[in-house]
Amino acid sequence: MKRLLMTIIFLIGMTIVGCSSEDTNTDEEGADASMEEENRDGVEEDDNFTDDEETSANEKEELDVADDEDSAAIATEGLQLQVNKVDQEAGVTIENHPLYADINELVTADPELGIPNDFSVVPLDIYITEEGSSLFFLAVNRLDIPIKNASFDFTLGNTDGELVFDQIDIYLSEEEFGVIEPNHTLPFFLDLTPEGEELYESLTMDNVFMDIENFSMDVEE
């Protein structure tokens, strides 16, 4: 955009310089002829400037449309699962880890998960181990920039005020989770109590309440 603006300023400056550099003639007839030529030249220059201005405006509009199309393309690009940093360093891949493989199937089946041009959280499913139950989520980056160190207060429950999680402080640190690339997602989990698990199982699209507050993040340079 700045380049187009500078082009317009430069053309205006050239027009002014061009008019002020015309030679004057003391002969009346020559002066009249010179004035007629200057008038014709001025009209042509005005026409040329109008054309240049319209061209610049059209180019600016085309660039705006292109930027919008790029943003839309980024926002609707198929979502991809990424392995968090700690797991990557341990040699984990989507292919060699059953949990990541299962989550990847869900992501592949619904590649438009998330909110366009935003960061969002998507509950997945309960994961039961010998230690207890955990609820897995996807942190979805639909922004057009890589992000890290995302933090927020998370609430999940029903519309009657019963809560599975009540403003739980979530911090997806770069040290543990790495950088979340645009149109990528990675999983995180929260431990469930038996009561929380029972309440979560009762949630539906009609009665679920989910809220994110105090969100902050760092942008990867």
Measured distance CA(203)–CA(158) in Å, rounded: 7
Per-residue pLDDT tens over the stretch 161-208: 999 999 999 999 999 999 999 999 999 999 999 999 999 999 999 999
Is residue 101 within 8 Å of 94, Cβ to Cβ? yes
The pair of structure tokens assigned to 83 is 């392995």
Please indicate, yes or no, whether the overall pTM of this predicted structure exceeds 0.85: no
Per-residue pLDDT tens over the stretch 69-86: 554 444 457 999 999 999
Q: Is residue 167 packed enough to be buried (19+ CB in 10 Å), middle (13-18) or exposed (0-12)? A: middle
